[in-house]
A and B are shown apart, each in its own frame.
Chain A
Amino acid sequence: MTAPADCRVAFSAALMDVAAADPRIVAVANDSVGSSNLKDFRRRFPERLIDVGIAEQNLVGVAAGLANGGKIPFVCAAACFLTARALEQIKVDCAYSRRNVKLCGMASGMAYGELGPTHHSIEDLAWLRAIAGLTVLVPADPIETDLAVRAAAAFDGPVFLRISRMKVPAVHPDDYRFRIGRAVCLRQGSDVTLAANGTVVWRALEAARQLAAEGISARVLNFSTVQPIDREAILRAAEETGGIVAAEEHTVHGGLGSAIAEVVVGSRPVPMRLIGVPGVFAPTGSAEWLMEHFGITAAGIRAAALQLVEQRVSHGTPARTGN
């Protein structure tokens, strides 16, 4: 694994690249130029950086208006304030209006650690994936962040990009091809599936390595698109591995795990385990400490996978069915 890196660096570098290639691209900030790593963007494209101050409803409305005027706005704001404070503007001005706005939720999840639940954004996926027509992307490392920014810029429609500031190692090869709507298999396996996204993918890979040492073959899927969810990858995983652990830096209510469960329960019921924040406001602690506290770790994912495999053995259900 490479040295862990802050995805905001890849984010802003990619944004400058796409902005250099397409004059329609503008950045919109809410006094978030520093926290969104946009200082270089402002230096290079001063007339294309619009700071509306601490005003998130206006932030998203202005972005919708910029899109009306032919621009492709990238709204860069702390995920907690962007999604909660401006949810109606996201729903109506961006999604329902089908405006070509890119909403970039920075320092998402529990990245703000000790700053507490006001600054945590662990409900955003639940809120946003309930909104029709909004594409929701959660890149897992700098390489995927770079590609997701480029894909969002090229995609005609509203997109939410969930960007962390927790450092993560690279989990994708340099020649990785990112596609909106496609879950990517990072490790083949047949006994159980570990589904994750964002800052949790490398932890799922680590869990899979530990499980392999114990003779359990775990498939690792990176669901960097939460909406539209990759139904095929889910159904294949259910069919071929017989159980799914979903792990995310988000409440277990309504996020990636729920999105997967909605597919599984309707089409191919298999046991699942959901790992995330269990419907509580986090106590004080650093981001990494909180991940440990809630078991959103390789050890937590491994333990849940073992439970699923043991449960299946005790029920006599084979992992593979059919064929």
Chain B
Amino acid sequence: MVTDIAELASLANRLRRRSLEMVHRAGLGHPGGDLSAADILVTLFLGVLGIDPLQPSAPNRDRFIMSKGHSSAAYYGVLAIAGFLPESGLDTYMQPLSMLNGHPDRNKVPGVEANTGALGHGLPIAVGAAMAARIDHAAWRTFVLTGDGELQEGSNWEAAMAAAHYGLDNLTLVVDRNGFQQGGATESTMRLHPLAEKFRAFGWAVREVDGHDHAQLLSVFHALPFEPAKPNCVIARTHKGKGVSFIEDRAEWHHRVPTAAEVAAAIRELEAATP
């Protein structure tokens, strides 16, 4: 487990760089969401999850379900950093016959728990996984990362009800609350506010953290479960495109592809910011 904050920050910026390079090379992707999720992904995969790249199907592994499957560059990147994939393989992202499809396929990529990409699927799957652990009195935990715009899908709220009804305190939902979706701001598209209150009203234990602060993220994940018999929700306040000034908080970077010059400029910014 990596618990050194500077190392996590460094790995997160390495992941940002890799994501941008992958999207540039593929000519496709969702860089804004890759960058907003980078710190959450690195903290979970390197500092929190009980997983072993040598045994990706171990029955007692912690489950991580990437509901925001479109942030696949960051997802594949963190799987590579965690040892599930060779980092050199990332260059095949979205190339013909690559195992690295635009959205993840668990039957092709080690470590992937669910095929996602259609939004609103991850949380119900995570609820089912947490129920399986509960039935077996097993200690493994289930984590799921959703986008925030994705929470407009009704299936999430069906699952939110069920998680609380069954008292699944072995389940943790992390919301990448970057405030943007494909067409613009979440709040002007379809308001999510007050999000924490919504989950509390559904019976969840909710914490809000700075989703780019590795110390806060580690601390909140180490405090799990927050309350007995309640599912856990971490609302991670993030910035879409975090770490690159000309990408940050700009809706068009939901799926804009950076040019070679933009990648180079982004790398300069990321290197300057890396401890």
Contacts and interface: CB of A to CB of B under 8 A. Distances in A.
B29 interface: no
B127 A65 contact: yes
B128 A62 contact: yes
A61 B159 contact: yes
A52 B127 CA distance: 10
A61 B115 CA distance: 11
Interface string A47-81: 11010110101101111111111110100000000
A92 B122 CA distance: 11
Given A50-B131, A53-B161, A65 B124 contact: yes
A57 B107 contact: no
A93 B128 CA distance: 12
B227 interface: no
A119 interface: no
B121 interface: yes
A17 B132 CA distance: 21
A47 B135 CA distance: 7
Contacts of A89: 121, 124, 155
B235 interface: no
A311 interface: no
Q: Which range contains the number of B residues in contact with the other chain?
A: 35 or more
Interface in B59-94: 59, 63, 65
B149 to A, nearest CB: 17
B128 A66 contact: yes
Nearest to B123: A61
Nearest to B126: A65
B136 to A, nearest CB: 8
Interface residues of A, number: 29
A58 B158 contact: yes
B124 A61 contact: yes
Main secondary structure of the interface of A (DSSP, over half): helix
Contacts of A53: 158, 161-162, 165
Residue in A47, A53, A57 whose Cβ sees the most chain B Cβ within 10 Å = A57
A64 B107 contact: no
A102 to B, nearest CB: 14
Contacts of A62: 124-125, 127-128, 131, 159, 162
Contact of A61 (B136, B142, B155, B165): B155
Residue in A61, A66, A92 whose Cβ sees the most chain B Cβ within 10 Å = A61
Contacts of B130: 65, 69
Nearest to A69: B132
Contacts of B114: 64-65, 68, 93, 97
B270 interface: no
Interface in A104-156: none
B35 interface: no
B106 interface: yes
B265 interface: no
Contacts of B158: 52-53, 55, 57-58
Contact of B129 (A52, A58, A68): A68
Nearest to B171: A65
B68 to A, nearest CB: 14
A88 interface: yes
A53 B166 CA distance: 12
Interface in B26-76: 59, 63, 65
B143 to A, nearest CB: 12
B118 interface: yes
A62 B156 CA distance: 11
A68 B132 contact: yes
A26 interface: yes
B162 A58 contact: yes
Nearest to B153: A57
A96 interface: yes
Nearest to B138: A69
Contact of B125 (A52, A71, A88, A93): A93
Interface in A22-42: 26
A61 B132 contact: no
A157 B131 CA distance: 20
Contacts of A65: 65, 114, 124-132, 142
Nearest to B166: A50
Nearest to B120: A57
Interface in B130-149: 130-133, 135-136, 142
B249 interface: no
Contact of A98 (B107, B121, B127): B107
B113 interface: yes
8 contacts: A50-B131, A55-B158, A58-B127, A58-B161, A62-B127, A66-B129, A69-B130, A92-B118
List the 3 shortest-distance A-B pairs measured between CB atoms, nearest first.
A65-B128, A69-B132, A61-B124
Given A58-B162, A62-B162, A69-B63, 9 more contacts: A53-B158, A55-B161, A61-B123, A65-B129, A68-B132, A69-B133, A70-B59, A92-B115, A97-B115
